[in-house]
Chain A
Amino acid sequence: MAHVAARPGDPIITPALVKEHGLTAQEYDRVRAMLGREPTFTELGIVSALWNEHCSYKHSRNVLRTLPTEGAAVIQGPGENAGVVRIGDGVAIAFKIESHNHPSAVEPYQGAATGVGGILRDVFTMGARPIAMLNSLRFGSLDSARNRYLFAGVVKGVGDYGNCVGVPTVAGEIVFDSAYDGNPLVNAMCVGVLSEDEIMRAKAEGVGNPILCVGARTGRDGIHGASFASEDLSAASEAKRPRVQVGDPFTEKLLLEASLELIRSGNIVAIQDMGAAGLTSSSAEMAARGDVGVTIDTSRVPVREPGMTPYEILLSESQERMLVVAHKGHEDAVIDILRKWDLTAEVIGEVIADPVYRVTEGDRVVAEFPGSALVTECPRYDVPAEEDPAAAERRSFDAHSVAELAQESDPMWTLVRLLSTPTIASKRWAYLQFDSTVRTNTVIGPGGDAAVIRIRGTDRAVALKTDCNGRYVALEPRVGGRIAVAEAARNVACTGARPLAITNCLNFGNPTRPEIFFQFREAVAGMAEACRSLETPVTGGNVSFYNESPSGAVYPTPVIGMVGVIDSMEHVTRATFSTAGDAIILLGDCSDELGGSEYLASIHGIVAGSPPACDLARERGVINALLDAIVGGYITSAHDCSDGGLSVALAECMMGDTEVMTGADIDLTQWDDLPLRAVLFGETQGRVIVSSSQPERVLDVAAQHGLPAARIGTVRAAGAGLLLRTHGAKLSASTEALASAYHMAIPRIMDCDPATVAIRETEGVGP
């Protein structure tokens, strides 16, 4: 071991300083035991960067281990920069989702933009060309000016970054609920394509191989960003705004092209994004994966300003940087490629035979850890998990005891109101700001059940979707976890795709609270059950804890990013009705379930009851029957039935696409024995609305799969509007009225001046 000494000017390490670095006294003792001495200030910084929750998964790892990660399609499971699955014809898909919640809470534009940048780098470092971006965004109610500011800023940040890099943003979900007041969730997912034999990994190998820092220069921005993400948000968080990194999508675009060229050139062994915890985490992780030693000289890192200390250089989260291990002797070839793209590349270290992680500043050794202990010796915690009794009580609430409002005597009033609820309403206001067609592969863009991206050179396409209903998870975490996976699978199946694999972004509160850890453990268990049943293994993801503001924890929100494959372009199926005269069929059934529904939440302001049951055998049946019917050529359109229930889904089928609006003649009298509002607005799972010119065939296929299915009506011209027979009533609404409620709700809120919004609020008219 080399002699490690404190640098002149380093602060003295005190218990207060240790605490400031987010380490407990026990964790600090662990560091001392690992080193056999007191750590230097630089070493303390390194440990704090790697052992925070964001980087170390210290509270989540033991639970995550219960998720299924293997399957015939999986080429690369969790542990690399991104997961990789094969889709046939030698083509593979790399994909991953990640959170950028805390930065976005204090600086929505840059927080969201750098979230997009980070996940892009995770995918292209695998050697994949990014072909699509998705997102999953959650905010508090748009009644608040702060939430409108966060929503507008995040949307602009997501758009500006992806648009500039030239990767289409093609799908996502946006939810508004006061549970996310003060702590929005910003999850970004990237999907890339590569050939199966081109996968690049982030594993340092080969003693003597040089390590290079490439891309942007290192500045003082974002220091301790990862530890900021590992604590609750509070009034003091605003002061940590400088910890939010600043993105430059132009440099990212150059880095993307340079990295892909570098990987194809054969000059490098490994490449990794310098993301959370920057140089520290990328170098330590690459060394640990390869089980080799590394030495890094911080004085050789290209910096933006003079006088940066090793501590600052190691912990900087300056964006658009990569760490590369090159083949010895190929340094100049690497530098030439970077120079072609006007980027810097500098040799800053090498792979060494000594089993140590060593950092020098010139000749002085400023940090040294034995072997890969930094990564492997990280503490892991099994913390108590216990359900909050209040949650159990909320779940036992009988949703049917809620008295109807007077206006509900006209169920069309309720339907229009639901369609204009921001969570259900069209998100076109946001996705108009996302370039969704660049790279000319977008078959179905934002607004469909899932995005469909064709794979050039094959007859295949991939279907992509992010999904989660946090309210269900809050009410019953295991069922909610199951539903998140099942609904995402149903969504991709509606486009004609076989669900293949998932990535996940687990957004939860503070895991040291037993009721939060209970939610986490149960939700993951539910996800695992669904992934096993639907044969969609987990290939990676991200855990984001400490999503708490002074008003409490967010809903537990395990966002699922699903990838499915469509084997032939002719099977691509859209969500909306298109042909008057087609039969409308409900695959699945109605039941008496209102708990946890959007109806209860937005019409009555009640979040209670049991969420709808999730029968995984039924979910499998729906997906298989639907895909058989699509492959058979019997299906014109298919749309998942989710938030707002059957009536909302039917309305979306009629007017979701404003260029192809239709009407529908619907008969639901076969369910007259159920309460009317359960039939119209209940969110029973495992259901898809299809339109077809061959209804008998569709019903036959459903019967073969033992799946209940019934013809419920006929597609009409738009002028006919929605006609609905149920419970002895004949209800009707014009297609235009439904479309206006659905499409104009968010523009009416966002494009009005604040005064107008305030007036509408005081009038209580609702959006």
Chain B
Amino acid sequence: MKFGVVTFPGSNCDYDAFQAVVEGVSQEAVYLWHKEHDLQGVDVVILPGGFSYGDYLRAGAIARFSPIMTEVVAHAKSGRPVLAICNGFQVACEAGLLPGALLRNASLHFISRPAYLRVDRVDTQFTNAYSSGDVLRVPVAHGEGRFTAHADTLSELEDTGRVLFRYCDSLGQVVDAENPNGSANSIAGIINAGGNVLGMMPHPERAIDPTLGRPDGAPLFRSLLAQVAA
């Protein structure tokens, strides 16, 4: 299975995503340069974290106009998987692949720490290797991660089960005190209506190797393999 990691100017988690694929699930990974139009036949596109275009204007607002994004949007529209992490989530929202937007953290501070995540659904192509009720420990590192959307959109996301990850405590309780950025309904990650685009603020690609902490991000990548194998 082949993963393509997009490198925008200012992307800085492209390397981590690449390594997660190669070291974590032993699959092929290639970098996709933002000025190109060629997806090199990849099965999964990863929009990585970082500060594309310095987050100038608004996080993700410029990156969505990159040449490569035309192909990424087409890839997504055809139902193939896109994993959008952190700044990638912001780019995906700006590109219209996902609803809502990411605002400055409620604290107004950048926040970097491990966060606990509750997996709300395990029947998606991104989460089928998790078990129901799993509580993950995955790093967050962002200044603008406060997910927000129109009340109708939020209801739709909730009613259609499109919230995959929520911030919680170590026991899986969703409490405000554990929400690092003030996001609506403690939302950490959502999928699109087609279920093939996942946007999430936490960094599963940083939770692969047990020497660095709990390897709770690895099943996400394994889930994608199972999906394609199936």
Contacts and interface: CB of A to CB of B under 8 A. Distances in A.
Given A166-B12, A253-B10, A342-B9, A440 B141 contact: no
A437 B56 contact: no
B81 interface: no
A433 B112 contact: yes
A432 B141 CA distance: 9
Contacts of B139: 437
Interface in A646-678: 659
B33 to A, nearest CB: 9
B83 interface: no
Interface string A245-257: 0001111011000
B54 A434 contact: no
Interface residues of B, number: 31
A440 B110 contact: no
A217 B211 CA distance: 43
Contact of B111 (A156, A165, A432, A454): A432
Nearest to A342: B9
B208 A437 contact: no
B16 A250 contact: no
B141 A250 contact: no
A435 B141 contact: yes
Contacts of A435: 110, 112, 141
Contacts of B50: 166
A440 B19 CA distance: 9
Given A250-B56, A253-B12, A569-B211, A440 B205 contact: yes
A438 B206 contact: yes
Interface in B38-53: 49-51, 53
Contacts of A166: 12-13, 50-51
A439 B16 contact: yes
B10 A250 contact: yes
B15 interface: yes
Contacts of A569: 211
Interface string B3-25: 00000011011011001100000
A166 B50 CA distance: 7
A163 B10 CA distance: 11
A440 B10 contact: no
A437 B10 contact: no
B170 to A, nearest CB: 8
B209 interface: yes
Given A164-B10, A166-B12, A439-B15, A433 B110 contact: yes
Given A432-B113, A436-B112, A443 B51 contact: no
Contacts of B55: 164, 250
B212 to A, nearest CB: 6
A164 B54 contact: yes
A439 B16 CA distance: 6
A569 B212 CA distance: 11
B206 A163 contact: no
B102 to A, nearest CB: 16
A130 to B, nearest CB: 11
B10 A432 contact: no
Nearest to B110: A433
Contacts of B13: 166, 438
A432 B54 contact: no
Give the interface centre of B109, B139, B208, B209 by most chain A CB atoms within 10 Å.
B109
B54 A440 contact: no
Given A164-B10, A440-B212, A442-B212, A250 B112 contact: no
A207 to B, nearest CB: 36
19 contacts: A156-B109, A160-B110, A248-B54, A250-B10, A250-B55, A250-B56, A251-B54, A253-B10, A433-B112, A434-B110, A437-B206, A438-B141, A440-B16, A440-B20, A440-B208, A441-B212, A442-B212, A443-B211, A659-B170
Given A166-B51, A253-B9, A569-B211, 14 more contacts: A163-B143, A165-B12, A249-B51, A250-B10, A341-B9, A435-B112, A435-B141, A437-B112, A437-B212, A438-B16, A440-B16, A440-B205, A442-B212, A443-B211
Closest 10 CB pairs of A and B: A166-B12, A250-B54, A435-B141, A164-B51, A437-B139, A435-B112, A440-B16, A433-B110, A437-B206, A440-B206
Interface of B: 9-10, 12-13, 15-16, 19-20, 49-51, 53-56, 109-113, 139, 141, 143, 170, 203, 205-206, 208-209, 211-212
